[in-house]
Structure 1
């Protein structure tokens, strides 16, 4: 009986060594690579909140392409379409609050980084009846490619 209790105590004591630690306020395992990815995504989040179109365009890859998540090619957007959207529609948005809960970071064999997250966006837009508040909560995924010491966004903006 004493051996069983000793083995059980040893197993319980070893559990913390096996458990993963997570970056605070995320569901992402705490590694230096993941911290770098989350820090980059936080730069993106702040650029959205600040309506910093120039910064967002610098963060986007010239190969940016978004398929809209469906088979309809009319809502697909490339870098030029993103630039047009940011400089025409996005700039009209006012008072943006953009919060992100990072869920998962994965790296593919071809070095693409996929960042899955849930966002909460609140913003004001001009409408027919004056300014309208909008609120959205949804899941999204940014697709990044390494570039030098940083990244570029391939899709997901």
Structure 2
């Protein structure tokens, strides 16, 4: 008598594999309207930074923005108003910037979301002695809040 259990197990595995969630192409991120929008907001941010366009960056930021820079020191905390003042000054110090961002994970819970990203930035800073090349790469956690106009940054810039 033929044992049909291995065949049945294989059919179940094939059926489950066919039901795996869609992923955003080139990532392991679940493809939903929210995750697609968050990835698009991150890319729009990247382009705004490369253009040194403070207004375009601020258009992506929620008035609820608050970032403690991952430290207990309140001296390096940044809220929306401080970010709005600091960005143009920071961009004025840059002769050029290239920023690559790889989105590794997006988690959405109701009107809040978190994105884990890897960034690699190369920039030239204007100093009194001339331009100085700098590079920075790290993993960053970006947090978002869903508002009437869409997903906005609330920390992590």
Give the shorter-chain TM-score range. Answer: 0.7 to 0.9
Q: CA deviation at 1:72?
A: 0.5
Structure 2 length normalisation: TM-score? 0.87
Separation (CA, whole Å) in 1 of partners of 2:76 and 2:143: 18
Separation (CA, whole Å) in 2 of partners of 1:130 and 1:101: 31
Task: Write out per-residue CA displacement over residues 54-85 of structure 1, whole angstroms, 9 at most, x where no aligned residue.
Answer: 11122222232110101001111112221222
Q: CA deviation at 1:129?
A: 4.5
Aligned residues: 156
Match of 2:138 in 1: 138
Match of 1:51 in 2: 52
Task: Write out per-residue CA displacement over residues 92-126 of structure 1, whole angstroms, 9 at most, x where no aligned residue.
Answer: 213211111112222235x2121121111111112
Separation (CA, whole Å) in 2 of partners of 1:129 and 1:46: 28
Q: CA deviation at 1:155?
A: 1.0
RMSD: 2.0
Q: Where do 4+ consecutive residues of structure 1 move more than 6 Å?
A: none
Match of 1:72 in 2: 73
Taking the TM superposition and a 5 Å limit, the aligned residue runs for 1:7-156 are 7-109=8-110, 111-127=111-127, 129-156=129-156
Structure 1 length normalisation: TM-score? 0.87
Separation (CA, whole Å) in 1 of partners of 2:115 and 2:105: 6
Q: 1:27 to 1:101 in 2, by over 3 A?
A: farther
Query: Which sections of structure 1, spanning at least 5 residues, go unmatched?
Result: none
